[in-house]
A and B are shown apart, each in its own frame.
Chain A
Amino acid sequence: MSLQWYSIGCYRFEKILKSRRFLILILLYIIINQQYTSAGELLFRTFVPDYNIEGRKITSFCEDYRGFLIIGTQGGLFKFDGNQYTPLPFPPSMTQFEITKIYCDAEQRWVGLSNGSILFYADDLSEPTILTTGKTAITDIEKDKNGLVWLASYGDGLFVLDNHGWQTNIAKSEGLTDNFVYTLQSDSTGWVWAGTDAGLVRCRIDNKTIEIQHFKYNNLLPDLIIHDLALDKKNCLWIGFNEAGVASYAIKDDVFKTVIGFDAIQQSEIWSLLIFENELWIGTENGKLFGYDIDSGVLNEYFGTSTNSLPTRKLNTCYSNLGGFWIGDQEKLTWTLGGEIEYFKFENQQPIGEVHAILADSKGFIWYCNETGLFRKSLNNSNMVKAELMFSTTFFKNTFFTCLYEDDNGLIWIGTFDKGVIVLNPKNKNIRVYQEQNGLANNNVLSIAGDQNFIWFSTFGGISRAYTTSGDNIEFEDYSGNSKLGNNYIFQIYIAPDHRVWFATDGSGLSYFENGKFEQLKNDHISKKAIYSVTEDKFGALWLAVADEGVFRLQGDSLRQFGLSDGLGSLSVTSVATVGNYVLVVNNHRVDLINTTNGVIVQTGENIDIHDIKAGLNAIDANQHTGNCWIGTQYGYIRFNKLDRIAQVKPILNLKSVLVNLEPVTIGQPINLEYNQNNLSFDFTGIWYPRPGDMRFKAKLEGQDVNWYTTRDHIIRYSNLAPGKYSFRLLDAGNTNSSVEDQISYNFTIKSPIWQRWWFILAAAIFVLGILRWFVHSRELKMKTEQQIRHEKLEFEYSNLRNQVNPHFLFNSFSTLIALIESDAKNAVSYVEKLSDYFRNILQFRDTELITLSEEQQLLETYIFLQKKRYANGLQLNIQIAEEFILSRIPPMTLQMLAENALKHNVASKSKPLLINISVEDDFIVVSNNLQAKNNPEVSTSLGLKNISERYRLFADKKVIVENNEVNFVVKLPLIQQINSKQIQILSL
């Protein structure tokens, strides 16, 4: 439709249209003529706790040093990390009281209650300790320069504590103006300032002496009720009143000055003050939020958006460790960066279509143009002031405006399509028009930039330069067709801080003008590209918006491309500009910020509702002097102010808990774990209030993982870890340049199982060797014993054999036999029979180890029969063995040998008969004989008795008892009832 009009008579323009790269001409909306703007919307994020804190109202909040927001309600304390509200232990006796103040220092959290109690929380898990002050609510807690803790109460004055528990009360009786204290503020000189119902007080304690000074009406204090105090960097105290706005008090000058009047803040009662950078933030009782720039004295009111509304009543504020601050009321909490990025929206919310150009001039006006025309609007008192339509597009017979520039004289240069350049004097609204006939290369202007009395114009016909000394005599120089420029289609002229003039060409890369000469930037990668926009950052690197290829960073020969994978919103970038540490990258939908120090891309979209902005090629105005950059959108305009702070804002990582085999362990010290304590889980949080849901982590378990693992989870588990040294490391995935302080690392060691440790192996080897040695030894011992047994046996057999062939016995027996044969032949036969029995028995039992007692008895009786023939009644044998014992065992010839012994050592005669008694008593076979020693006894070898003892020891492991009591000689042989395995073993040898 109307597009045709612009292309008439301009084939070059048609060519550009065909190239489809030209973004200026997409015009969409029918426009209303007048726009209202309000003050800016902040970069912020609102949290509505809702049921998460059990339906209670928020009565106080404070962020602790680890970045957790501690939220107090009636009878409950909660910890918030951006995602979760975790209740903290709260004493049951205190649940009916409200938490009226929370204060966090590096060691603990102080919680003041409405009944005057203070709870100290050293950690999240243990119950707090309770301190009681007065009976009225604690309204503020503050540490002074000397480390004393001051408590303000609402009815009991002040309380002061030191480390040693010393506590003192400063109330009306001590000279305080009033016992109702709202707020405390300590300064660098050791004073603590208190705002009360009866003016301002400052107190100081030196060596336990209290010093108090009052400030009242006579000190020109505008109001007596002081709700909040704040101290700025220049040691100036800011005082918020009940009905007198805000006053400042320069401590060194001792002067009160009302800075913000009651009417300026719409007669609102000040509720809280907070100094953030150079801005004083004011929250009021009726829910208004103001920002007062301390340097410039500009007061702004801030609003929320329909989707992201600000708290509305009794606004409290507190600092955030992330770099911003909090605003909150009883219902919700808002985290904000302050006025670093502000969106000034048209009040009626109607989009005005693509903004072609924007300009913030030196007089405090913002100029912008769209399809309807050119508008101007005052930035001061921007509320309710209408935008002024300077020229409608119909003014010059349907032209439209493409670019804006303010020269050093305050004249506004307006580039148009088909009508050349219009120069407007804002003071008298006089205009001049320069066209081809005045020396301009072409009447279609794409870009204007100026520097030191020169103004550069990019037209469809090439580059022109104007020299503006004074007055109306503008001379144009025509540089069109310069071969070094590459081509005549220049999208943007950019003047770098070093006054080099850059030209972003359509298909010929970058050219520049320096020392009166044009040069083409030599870089093979970009020399054939269409570049929409160029800017230079503070490190001297060039940033290029390349058609459909995103953004390139060029420093010397090093070229880096930023694309979608780096976080860029779109590859169709319309413009780039430098603000502080950032390069703004504008596309049709949103604005991305690339941090020039580390290349991290910050998206601004969600936080302040920046979307669908439709900014034209020139809808950006970066002012190198003020550090501000303005971007015009179809809903309003965005101001990026210096952007120093956003660079410092980064998530705070916290390791919440470490579980070993599902059991929590204390975090802090490296730990040593047993081999089977090898299932670990790490629970962590990244506090990132601007976009808590988008927090991504990079984690790595050194000792196990080779690569970093990127996750959104808040728990990582490792199971069945092998023994070794490990270090769990966690960092923010969004920060590629994170320092050691930004990281979390947790070291632990899993010990080898006990059987894999050197000392265990050594001990085990020693043990095995010991066993082996013992085995060998015992085997040797056993063999020795066996040998001994064999030896004993041989010896016994030998001794028996010797006995058997005892010549005396034989001699005596034969003598007896001779006597018998002569006297009693019949008895002689039986005698020989017995003798024969005796020897047969000896032969029979010789190889037997044990025989029955009856067999032995028989043997003994045979022997006694033989001997009786010789001794007659001089030898008497009396055997009394019960039936039950006759089958018990005995080594052969034991009894016979004992009897033989008795005969050998004792007299056996008619007058002194030798009595041998054999009986069984108490498991013993008792062999006794009366003792009547021979006068010349036979030489005793004691071999017999010893032999018996040995045999009993070996075969039965029993002891033979020998008693010699000078009357009787008694031998007690243990009964061997049955044959056990040991005996069998030995017997079988």
Chain B
Amino acid sequence: MSVCQRITFVFIIILVLAGKLLFAQQSVYLTENGMVSFTSDAPLEIIKAQSNTLQGAIDIDNQTFIFVLVNGTFEGFNSPLQQEHFHENYMESNIYQRTTFTGKIIEPLNLTNGKEQIVRAKGILDLHGVKQERIIKAHIVLIGNVLTINSIFTVMMDDHHIRIPKVVSKKVAPEIEVKINATFIKSVAK
């Protein structure tokens, strides 16, 4: 992760949670190396890729969150050519550099140590420059100071205006399964 990206990320976090960071910093959990993977399960080809640079912040008191992912960090494709196509033809990573998901948690969080809770995160998924309101289910568990989040959801290519050419329609699925696995650490009080 470049210094520039790190600064941008911190800046966004500060913007979103400025007041809360100052007065109620206890409740904010951060991650910078969350795992995001996706699977396109098409009849002729299965494409998988992964990124370990998901950045995120969760404010437990206010039940708000933000996730930021730099699209260029996906790796583990079947071939370098595939990776190139992914960035150039579908994600257009040069134009739309980041994917974000910001919003609030519907269910009241009740994080007793070691007890897993299923919550719905409702927010705006900004992917490929198209904003979609999503309600995404996630498993959340707090062990000590570490908050772990797991989630599986799908993204419809069409919803985000990602067009699949007919020639490759059997190689790229219209519905992409996305997995999130991130561990958050309580932000250090000053």
Contact = CB atoms under 8 A, between A and B. Distances in A.
Interface of A: 197-198, 217, 224-225, 242-243
A217 B108 CA distance: 10
Contacts of A198: 106
13 contacts: A197-B104, A197-B106, A197-B122, A198-B106, A217-B108, A224-B106, A224-B107, A225-B120, A225-B122, A225-B135, A242-B120, A242-B135, A243-B120
Given A197-B106, A197-B122, A224-B107, 7 more contacts: A198-B106, A225-B106, A225-B120, A225-B122, A225-B135, A242-B120, A243-B120
Nearest to B122: A197
Nearest to B135: A242
Q: Which 10 A-B pairs have the closest CB atoms?
A: A224-B106, A225-B106, A197-B106, A197-B122, A242-B135, A224-B107, A198-B106, A225-B135, A197-B104, A225-B120
Nearest to B108: A217
Q: How large is the interface on B (under 10, 10 to 19, 20 to 34, 35 or more residues)?
A: under 10
A354 B120 CA distance: 54
Interface string B129-169: 00000010000000000000000000000000000000000
Interface string B165-183: 0000000000000000000
Contacts of A224: 106-107
Contacts of B122: 197, 225
A4 to B, nearest CB: 57
Contacts of B120: 225, 242-243
A197 B120 CA distance: 11
A224 B120 CA distance: 10
B2 to A, nearest CB: 34
A765 B104 CA distance: 91
The binding surface of chain A is classed by DSSP as loop
A217 B107 CA distance: 9
A224 B135 CA distance: 12
Contacts of B108: 217
Nearest to A198: B106
A225 B121 CA distance: 11
A242 B108 CA distance: 16
A731 B107 CA distance: 57
Contacts of A242: 120, 135
Q: Please report whether the interface of chain B is mostly helix, strand, loop or mixed according to DSSP.
A: strand
Contacts of B106: 197-198, 224-225
Contacts of A225: 106, 120, 122, 135
A242 B104 CA distance: 15
Interface in B74-130: 104, 106-108, 120, 122
Contacts of A197: 104, 106, 122
Contacts of B104: 197
A57 B33 CA distance: 41
A242 B137 CA distance: 12
Nearest to A216: B108
A103 B115 CA distance: 46
Nearest to A243: B120
A253 B107 CA distance: 26
B19 to A, nearest CB: 14
Contacts of B135: 225, 242
Nearest to A178: B104
| B106, B107, B122: residue with the most chain A Cβ atoms closer than 10 Å | B106
Nearest to B107: A224
A242 B120 CA distance: 10
Nearest to A154: B133
A242 B121 CA distance: 13
A695 B108 CA distance: 56
A242 B135 CA distance: 9
A217 B104 CA distance: 18
Contacts of A243: 120
Contacts of B107: 224
B55 to A, nearest CB: 25
Nearest to A242: B135
A225 B120 CA distance: 10
A162 B31 CA distance: 49
Nearest to A224: B106
A243 B107 CA distance: 12
A224 B106 CA distance: 7
Nearest to B133: A154
Nearest to B63: A198
B67 to A, nearest CB: 19
A197 B134 CA distance: 13
A147 B129 CA distance: 43
Nearest to A217: B108
Interface in B46-83: none
A197, A217, A243 interface centre (most CB from chain B within 10 Å): A197
A198 B120 CA distance: 11
B140 to A, nearest CB: 16
A222 to B, nearest CB: 12
A197 B133 CA distance: 13
A314 to B, nearest CB: 12
B57 to A, nearest CB: 20
A217 to B, nearest CB: 8
A224 B104 CA distance: 13
A247 B166 CA distance: 44
A225 B122 CA distance: 10
B18 to A, nearest CB: 18
B73 to A, nearest CB: 31
A224 B107 CA distance: 7
B134 to A, nearest CB: 12
A96 to B, nearest CB: 15
B121 to A, nearest CB: 11
A388 to B, nearest CB: 39
B136 to A, nearest CB: 12
B125 to A, nearest CB: 16
B137 to A, nearest CB: 9
A877 B122 CA distance: 133
A464 B122 CA distance: 72
B189 to A, nearest CB: 27
A330 to B, nearest CB: 13
Nearest to B104: A197
Contacts of A217: 108
A153 to B, nearest CB: 14
A197 B106 CA distance: 7
A198 B63 CA distance: 12
A381 B135 CA distance: 31
A197 B135 CA distance: 11
A805 to B, nearest CB: 131
A177 to B, nearest CB: 11
B118 to A, nearest CB: 11
A183 to B, nearest CB: 16
A225 B104 CA distance: 12
A243 B120 CA distance: 10
A533 B28 CA distance: 80
B185 to A, nearest CB: 28
A243 B122 CA distance: 13
A224 B108 CA distance: 10
A657 B107 CA distance: 55
A147 B183 CA distance: 52
A760 B118 CA distance: 92
A266 B120 CA distance: 19
A300 B148 CA distance: 42
B59 to A, nearest CB: 15
Nearest to A199: B106
A886 B107 CA distance: 129
